[in-house]
Amino acid sequence: MTAPGKHAAEPERASLLRRVGAWSAEHPRKTFGGWAALIILSVLFALVGVGGQNIYERLENGTPQVDGEAGQVDDLLEAAENDDSRALNLLVYGVAPDDRTLAAHLDPLPDKLQQIQDENPGSVLTISDPRQGLAALESGVALSASDAARVQALAAADGNGILVVVRAGTEQVGSEEQTPARRAAQVQALELLDGIAEELKTVHPDATVHVSSEARIATSYRAVAAADLERGEGIALPIALLVMIVVFGGILAAGVPILGAIASILLGYGSLFALSFAFGFDSIVLNVVTLLGLGLAIDYGLLVISRFREEMRDVGEGDRSGIVGATASTVEHAGRTVVFSGTIFAAASLGLLLFEPTIMRAIGVGTIAVVAIAIAVSISLVPAILATAGHKLTKPGLLARVKPLRPIFGRLGTVTPDDGNFGKLARWSQRRPALVTAACVLLLGVLASPALSLIPVNDVSGAVPRAATEYSFIETIADEFPDAAPAKVELVIRAETGASADSRVAAWAQDMAGDPRVASVGVPEQTESYATVRVHPEEGANAMDLVERAREAAPADAEAWVTGTAAHDLDLISSVQATAPWAALIICGLTFVLLFLMTGSVIMPIKSLAIALLSLGSAVGVLVWGFQDGHLAGVLNFEPDDINGVDVLVLTITLVLGFGLSMDYEVFLLGRVAELRDRGVAGREAVWKGLQGTGRIITSAALIMVVVFLGFTLGDLLIIKQMGTALAVLVALDATLVRCVLVPAAMTWGESIMWWSPRWLRPVADRLRIRH
């Protein structure tokens, strides 16, 4: 095995990675041309679009769903309604329902809607305006209980506003031929409502007047997600470039990983656009996957360019064959680490495919795609750039040539020395390995301790952020029109005989009314197929507990279900919790096998998994402390009242992706230590030399990753704030305390068994292990 900078003759049968590196170095123009063509096609498909839609227009949003009891009964109710109409809502709050100016604007509305319907044959426009019903109730006219409930649902609880609902449908439900007419009528009706709203705002400037629809809510959510993505990239890329200029002492060397990251992001857009035809991609998926792709591409680029500078030590000026050899050796060694690291990250992401919510599977597939792209860019495009630049990357950069800056950038831009601060830090931790290991474990345990009070919830995954244009509409409906908002708890019984179902669901509701956590129960509603009634929890009560109580109290001799937003939350959390152990088993099993193939040891993978668990625990502890307990509300600009616990999707995705990131740096370090051992370096020496050789890259890559994550926490999406914060904490701890102190101490403390394998596995290790 040759050391860095010593290029032996090309072996008769070079490894695949070495051949890829050599080809990229020998044919840089072909390499650039191929990648440029892929990037251009990706940009055209993703940003211009196919079939009239680009990637942003294909994004969806909504609360994650699973196939639980709530989802099943909602499907039954929707099928029974046989209604495919779209709701268009005019909210007027702060104006009395009997206000004359309100009447002047709303009284002509039915006739105008009829005119729109006549202009679009096949469309049907209906209107629900509570003013007439409210006037009847006020004058003492008797209405049925269900009719009165419908009227009151569209009136503000304090009597100071109304909600007018226009529904746009088709004459024949589900008719594809009549859908264009419905869409045209819907657009015209929205324009009509917008005009009325603008006029009412002029007359009542202090009132809340807003026109909204499901499509507008989705559009506003996507707009915030796109703005967050643009802001995150705009912050992360410049700061990442600045960090790498410091690390490499020059702009040219620093620009190589940035070019690789930009290529990865653009190609990632194309892959996500293609995958959107197989998965319903939420807006969050694009942000999360882009965030990871950006960080990983820079990480891998840093590792490759650092190794290339080492390999170029003994290559003479103008020695083209030497540059090709250095590039091939770089890809053979650093490329192997990149492939191993990316494979483990992809293996961790596979765990997300086991979960039921589409958003989790989409993030899993998207992450695997961007990891594959980052690997390919790092072992092909980046080496071609390196080979083209050649010795320019090893010479002092522009900043190092500026006399006042030379002492700083001249030292930072050099190739990593054989001994230095990271080697000294590792040897310090090796002096008392047991004590250092125990102290690190204790500190990480303290950071993880808030996780003991974790409350799993589902309250940010589909939440519309405060910055969204539709936020005020949603909040006003929830606060002032509670019966028009989606029910938190709703009881449903199949109507076999009309009256009996109505009375039985009422009896079920009255049984629930005796629970001190219930504020009130609604009026039963009966259709031909089902009877339903709402249960309103007391403010601050755990609505999911009421769902469990209602399901336990359901009539045993009837087809009865519980639905509502709280029921969906409970079903989602239960589904995730049931799948999590299997996902953890697969992730840990695949990681164990891959690390065994890398090290030939069965102890080393166990050590790596245990230490990763400590890092993950610390990240979850900070997540609970910062968000569930609200300590980071001021720093990260969110309302603590918006959060009731730790979102179960945030928690799961953070654990999976955090595990992948932790293994990323573990592989960086273990790859160099294993290489040194293969060259005959003794155990302790291999550990400190391994950290010395990779410490700068690990900490620099981690710093960039932390910058990327924190850049995205400045956005408005709460789910991204939580994920970004937890992952930034995990990476910061993992690359410093864990990788630079705990790992050297633990490997030294257990050096007698660290590389051990059982006798029956040794032939397998010898035959399958990938040598360095």
Please, what is the angle between helix 648-678 and helix 283-311, to 10°?
10
The two structure tokens encoding residue 533? 């009634």
The pair phi, psi for residue 751, each rounded to 5°, is: -60, -25
The confidence score (pLDDT) of residue 498 equals 46
Characterize the bridge pairing of strands 530-537 and 489-494: antiparallel
> Cα(270)–Cα(290) distance, rounded to whole angstroms?
12
> Cα(135)–Cα(164) distance, rounded to whole angstroms?
15
The confidence score (pLDDT) of residue 129 equals 94
> Cα(110)–Cα(533) distance, rounded to whole angstroms?
30
The confidence score (pLDDT) of residue 8 equals 45
Please, what is the angle between helix 320-350 and helix 16-26, to 10°?
130
DSSP 431-458: HSHHHHHHHHHHHHHHHHGGGGG--EE-
The confidence score (pLDDT) of residue 275 equals 84
The two structure tokens encoding residue 734? 């993992």
The two structure tokens encoding residue 618? 């610390």
Q: With b meaning 16 or more CB within 10 Å and e meaning fewer, what string describes 464-502?
A: bbeebbbbebbebbeebbbbbbebbbbbbbbbeeeeebb
The confidence score (pLDDT) of residue 407 equals 58
For 15, other C-beta atoms within 10 Å of its C-beta total 17
- Is 366 exposed, middle or buried (CB count within 10 Å of its CB: 0-12, 13-18, 19+)? buried
The confidence score (pLDDT) of residue 62 equals 63
pLDDT by residue (tens digit) across 387-437?
998 888 776 555 555 566 555 555 555 556 677 889 999 999 999 999 999
Residue 377 is given by DSSP the state I
> Cα(319)–Cα(305) distance, rounded to whole angstroms?
19
> Cα(485)–Cα(564) distance, rounded to whole angstroms?
11
The two structure tokens encoding residue 640? 């603590």
Do the domains at 85-217 and 487-563 have one common CATH topology?
A: yes
Return the CATH number of 576-772, one of 2.30.30.60, 1.10.10.10, 1.20.1640.10, 1.10.287.1080: 1.20.1640.10
Which residues fall within 8 angstroms of residue 189, CB to CB, at 6 or more apart? 88, 113, 116, 125, 166, 168
> Cα(281)–Cα(208) distance, rounded to whole angstroms?
33
Taking 70 as the pLDDT cut, the residues of the chain under it are 1-13, 50-52, 61-62, 248-250, 395-417, 460-463, 496-499, 765, 768-772
Cα separation values, 517 from 14, 567, 756, Å: 71, 16, 58
> Under a CB-based contact definition with an 8 Å cutoff, are residues 95 and 204 in contact?
yes
Residue 116's beta-bridge partner residues? Answer: none
The confidence score (pLDDT) of residue 278 equals 79
> Cα(644)–Cα(455) distance, rounded to whole angstroms?
8
Amino acid 335 reads G
Distance, C-alpha 497 to centroid of its chain: 47
The confidence score (pLDDT) of residue 402 equals 59
The confidence score (pLDDT) of residue 413 equals 52
- 3-class SS string, 652-670: HHHHHHHHHHHHHHHHHHH
The two structure tokens encoding residue 168? 């746009």
Amino acid 101 reads T
Residue 540 is given by DSSP the state T
Residue 535's beta-bridge partner residues? Answer: 489, 521
Task: Indicate the average pLDDT of the chain.
Answer: 86
Cα separation values, 29 from 23, 34, 258, 376, Å: 11, 8, 20, 17
DSSP 80-94: HHT---EEEEEEEES
The confidence score (pLDDT) of residue 227 equals 83
Q: Look at the domain 487-563 and name its fold.
A: Alpha-Beta Plaits (3.30.70)
Which residues fall within 8 angstroms of residue 289, CB to CB, at 6 or more apart? 268, 272, 363, 366, 367, 369, 370
- Whole-prediction pTM value? 0.84
- 3-class SS string, 41-65: HHHHHHHHCECCECCCCCCECCCCC
> Cα(354)–Cα(377) distance, rounded to whole angstroms?
28
The confidence score (pLDDT) of residue 211 equals 95
Domain 85-217: state its class.
alpha beta
Question: CATH homologous superfamily of domain 16-62+249-415?
Answer: Multidrug efflux transporter AcrB transmembrane domain (1.20.1640.10)
> Under a CB-based contact definition with an 8 Å cutoff, are residues 654 and 726 in contact?
yes
Across the beta sheet with 161-170, what order do the strands follow? 123-128, 161-170, 86-93, 208-213
Which residues fall within 8 angstroms of residue 179, CB to CB, at 6 or more apart? 170
> Under a CB-based contact definition with an 8 Å cutoff, are residues 532 and 597 in contact?
no
The pair phi, psi for residue 232, each rounded to 5°, is: -60, -45
> Under a CB-based contact definition with an 8 Å cutoff, are residues 642 and 465 in contact?
no
Cα 607–Cα 747–Cα 753 angle in degrees, nearest 5: 75
Closest CA to 703 of 257, 231, 402: 257
- What are the extents of the domains in the chain? 16-62+249-415, 85-217, 487-563, 576-772
pLDDT by residue (tens digit) across 650-676?
899 899 999 998 988 898 888 888 888
Helix (H, G, I), strand (E, B) or coil at 459: coil
> Cα(17)–Cα(380) distance, rounded to whole angstroms?
9
Characterize the bridge pairing of strands 208-213 and 86-93: antiparallel
pLDDT by residue (tens digit) across 246-265?
776 667 777 888 888 889 98
> Under a CB-based contact definition with an 8 Å cutoff, are residues 562 and 490 in contact?
yes
Closest CA to 348 of 357, 359, 331, 360: 360
